[in-house]
Amino acid sequence: MIPDFSVVIPTYQQPALLLKCLDALGQQRFPRDQYEIIVVDDGNSPETAAAVALFTKQIAQSGGPLEVRYLGQPQSRGPAAARNRGWRAARGRIVAFTDEDCLPQPAWLANALTSFQRGAQVVTGQVRLTLPDEITAYNAKSSYLEMSEFISANCFCRKSALDRVGGFEEAFDFAWREDNDLQFKFIQAGIPIIKCPEAVVVHPMREMPWYAPLTNERKNRYDALLYKRHPDLFRQRIAMDRSLILEYYASVLGVSVGFLGALIGSTMAAAMGFGVWSVLTINMLVNQMPDKVTSTNLRQTILTTLATPFLAVYWRLYGAVKYRVLYW
């Protein structure tokens, strides 16, 4: 019997989180013979394989058949490639995507199926964030997940629709913009994306180190790739704070002019350059200041405010050069 759903989960060295996601999938209010779970391990780790084996054993003991498959990637190639391997191995008519750190709610599959019974080809569900007690700048910025038009942590596609557009673009080898690219391919192919807010996935936000916003600036390089592939849809659909990006460029330019002025002995150029940088930095610092200021988070906020413009500009220019595209 061909199942209704194949649930594909890409994972990378997070066996504890994966087990929680699998447990949530095991509690679906949906016939177990009508869905399968495919775990694609981008880390190809023994710990992840053991976690899947443990879940498979537990689910067999709880009664009712549920097929669980583990696919180890020979080498790490990112979540887009992992999802492609998963959906291409799927037996179900509909491929459901979620992530290792997400918790699909009990009626997730049942509610999504209703949309497909009405003729949908692609469906996007609702992501609900749960924030840790201490909200960091990283957590606050992640609120975009709840407002995303289409997100791979909670979407459903007929396998035929994925075949038609070729699935995920594997050049997005980091977890950023690969779902936007798939969304844009569906739009260009004339495949409607139907919203199903009743298909809910809860995304508990993990506590991240204070420097997480800095390391995440490397994601900016994929904006260039997405723009190159879909320039019109990028401008129409991707929300970007262009005034803040302009501040980043102006800040870096100000420092550069300041150092150049000092190097050539021009007091005026040095004063103007460092003056512009100082004003912009103070403005960004005020905007980034946490509600409850402590000596620790004050130091962290100052460091991230000083470093962010340089990292943001570097990675945007890196992407522009790598993918040979000018974008704004």
User: pLDDT by residue (tens digit) across 186-226?
Assistant: 999 999 999 999 999 999 988 888 899 999 999 999 999 99
Could you tell me which residues come within 8 angstroms of residue 208 by beta carbon, excluding any fewer than 6 positions away?
Answer: 136, 138, 139
Could you tell me which residues come within 8 angstroms of residue 325 by beta carbon, excluding any fewer than 6 positions away?
Answer: 224, 227, 228
Q: What is the DSSP string of 17-72?
A: HHHHHHHHHHT-SS-GGGEEEEEEETT--HHHHHHHHHHHHHHHHTSS--EEEEEE
Tokens of 313: 């500009």
The torsion of the CA quartet 221, 222, 227, 229, rounded to 10 degrees, works out to 130
Going residue by residue through the chain, which has 328 residues, state the pLDDT in tens, using 9 for 90 and above.
899 999 999 999 999 999 999 999 999 999 999 999 999 999 999 999 999 999 999 999 887 789 999 999 999 999 999 999 999 999 999 999 999 999 999 999 999 999 999 999 999 999 999 977 655 555 555 556 677 899 999 999 999 999 999 999 999 999 999 999 999 999 999 999 999 999 999 999 888 888 999 999 999 999 999 999 999 999 999 988 889 999 999 999 999 999 999 999 999 999 999 999 999 999 999 998 888 888 888 899 999 999 999 999 999 999 999 999 998 7
Measured distance CA(136)–CA(325) in Å, rounded: 33
User: pLDDT by residue (tens digit) across 269-282?
Assistant: 999 999 999 999 99
- The residue behind tokens 């075949």 is 163
Q: Is the pTM of this model over 0.85?
A: yes
CATH architecture of 5-208: Alpha-Beta Complex (3.90)
- Alpha helix (H) ranges present in 142-211? 144-147, 159-165, 178-188
**Inter-helix orientation angle 46-61/15-26, to 10°:** 20
Within the chain, all domains assigned CATH 3.90.550.10 are found at: 5-208
The torsion of the CA quartet 184, 186, 188, 194, rounded to 10 degrees, works out to -100
Q: State the number of CA atoms in the 13 A half-sphere of 259 facing the CB.
A: 5
